[in-house]
């Protein structure tokens, strides 16, 4: 007698149910102190990068990943978001705004918008920090969340120097094993994986965050969930990732968007060495390179050379100025032959001719520097 394998008719399952588009929370209420003076009059997510408020890039990327409903958690300078983005329909989105009377921190802000979510208790809700420029595959993060059955899934990025970030080690299955904030000693640097500021929460987990008081999601919510035995899953990748928290990073991010190194559907032009926006005036012999953007109403005079630099609306760069890796705020003036390298110039500041400012200099809004008042060259 021969035994034959029992034949089973495969079950015909129709096409998979399309998952409802996930909704998202964007955290945009921080004070952005490290980015001053860019954030003196403008909240960090509204500071322009590659010609449009940085938040536009995040909204456009979320939309491209299928997200339709986004709740913006605002606090600092909250009043500027809605007049600019309105109901979001220009971007194909439905936007809602929730403003905290007092800043509630990252976790408190997430909890504070819970009543605006439409998701069921087990549905995924995306949460994004409002100052991260990344090529994250949002769909892949949602897939990791669904397939792992996690309570919270986190995007983790590998960085060379993790000291300024929160470390998130994982086990062989990608399950988070600890949260280590800003390690100081070599022994504390147990991984190069950092919290990259994009999460998927099971909706019901958001409802467990304490309401009405400041909560840090990084320092309180995640460690508490881990201690309580919750399943936190990491998705590690090495895609483009930049925290735009500092002026140097912001300048880099804007240039990378113009160059096309950082992906965004919202850059108002083709990738290239420079982006000159309608209404900007650039002298024919001025030289723009390295992802420079010149915004509407800005003027670049003859002989000026700008590399990896953002020139904001109404700013004026006078003849033969040399500007590298810098951010020139709205209506600021840079005098003739002045050299700036790695400098941030606040709104309406006026730097007279023949100055030389070196990396890290920050010129506050409305400041005036007379001609030849600062020079570091040894040739004088």
Distance CA 119, CA 18 (A): 15
Instruction: Identify which range of 68-76, 152-160, 179-187, 293-301 contacts ligand GTP by CB under 6 A.
Output: 68-76
Cβ distance to ligand GTP smaller for residue 222 or 274: 222
| Token duo for residue 138 | 């949002």
30 binds ligand GTP (CB under 6 A): yes
Cβ distance to ligand GTP smaller for residue 35 or 266: 35
Distance CA 102, CA 82 (A): 19
CB of 274 to ligand GTP, least distance (A): 28
44 binds ligand GTP (CB under 6 A): yes
Tell me, by CB under 6 A, how many residues bind ligand GTP. Answer: 23
Give the DSSP H or E segment for 276. strand 274-276
Residues forming beta bridges with residue 275, ordered by sequence position: 293
33 binds ligand GTP (CB under 6 A): yes
31 binds ligand GTP (CB under 6 A): yes
Task: Write the interaction track for ligand GTP spanning residues 82-111; mark x where CB under 6 A is met and - where it is not.
Answer: ------------------x--xxxx--x--
219 binds ligand GTP (CB under 6 A): no
Cβ distance to ligand GTP smaller for residue 110 or 317: 110
Residues forming beta bridges with residue 203, ordered by sequence position: none
- DSSP secondary structure string for all residues of 302-332: TT-EEES-EE-TT-EE-TT-EEES-EE-TT-
220 binds ligand GTP (CB under 6 A): no
CB of 54 to ligand GTP, least distance (A): 10
C-beta of residue 359 within 8 angstroms of C-beta of residue 376: no
C-beta of residue 351 within 8 angstroms of C-beta of residue 364: no
Alpha-helical regions (H) of 172-228 = 203-206, 222-227
Angle ∠(42,47,51) on CA atoms, nearest 5: 140
CB of 98 to ligand GTP, least distance (A): 8
CB of 35 to ligand GTP, least distance (A): 6
Cβ distance to ligand GTP smaller for residue 43 or 51: 43
Distance CA 330, CA 349 (A): 9
Q: Which residues bind ligand GTP (CB under 6 A)?
A: 27-35, 44, 73-75, 100, 103-106, 109, 129-131, 245
């Amino acid at each position: 007698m021969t035994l034959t394998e029992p034949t089973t008719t495969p079950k015909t399952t129709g096409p998979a149910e399309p998952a409802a588009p996930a909704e998202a929370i964007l955290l945009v209420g921080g004070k952005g102190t490290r980015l001053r003076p860019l954030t003196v009059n403008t909240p960090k997510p509204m500071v322009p990068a590659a010609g449009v408020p940085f938040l536009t890039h995040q909204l456009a990327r979320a939309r491209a990943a299928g997200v339709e409903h986004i709740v913006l958690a605002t606090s600092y300078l909250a009043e500027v978001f809605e007049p600019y983005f309105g109901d979001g329909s220009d971007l194909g989105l439905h936007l809602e705004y929730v403003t905290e009377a007092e800043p509630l921190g990252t976790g408190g802000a997430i909890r504070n918008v819970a009543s605006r979510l439409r998701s069921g208790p087990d549905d995924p809700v995306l949460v994004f920090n409002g100052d991260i420029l990344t090529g994250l595959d949002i769909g892949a993060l949602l897939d990791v969340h669904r397939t792992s059955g996690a309570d919270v899934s986190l995007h983790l990025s590998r960085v060379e120097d993790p000291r300024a970030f929160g470390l998130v080690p994982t086990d062989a299955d990608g399950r988070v094993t600890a949260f280590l904030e800003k390690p100081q000693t070599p022994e504390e640097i147990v991984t190069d994986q950092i919290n990259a500021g994009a999460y998927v929460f099971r909706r019901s987990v958001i409802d467990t965050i304490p309401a009405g008081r400041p909560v840090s999601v990084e320092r309180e919510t995640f460690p508490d969930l881990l201690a309580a035995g919750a399943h936190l899953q990491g998705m590690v990748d090495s895609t483009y990732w930049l925290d735009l928290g500092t002026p140097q990073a912001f300048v880099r991010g804007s240039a990378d968007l113009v160059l096309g190194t950082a992906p965004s559907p919202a850059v108002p032009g083709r990738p290239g060495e420079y982006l000159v926006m309608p209404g900007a005036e650039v002298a024919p012999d001025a030289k723009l390179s390295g992802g420079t953007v010149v915004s509407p109403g800005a003027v670049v005079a003859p002989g000026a050379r700008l590399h990896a630099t953002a020139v904001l609306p109404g700013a004026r760069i006078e003849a033969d100025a040399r500007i590298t890796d810098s951010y020139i705020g709205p209506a600021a003036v840079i005098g003739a032959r002045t050299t700036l390298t790695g400098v941030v110039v606040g709104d309406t500041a006026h730097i007279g001719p023949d100055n030389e400012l070196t990396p890290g200099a920050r010129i506050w809004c409305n400041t005036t520097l007379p001609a030849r008042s600062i020079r570091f060259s040894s040739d004088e």
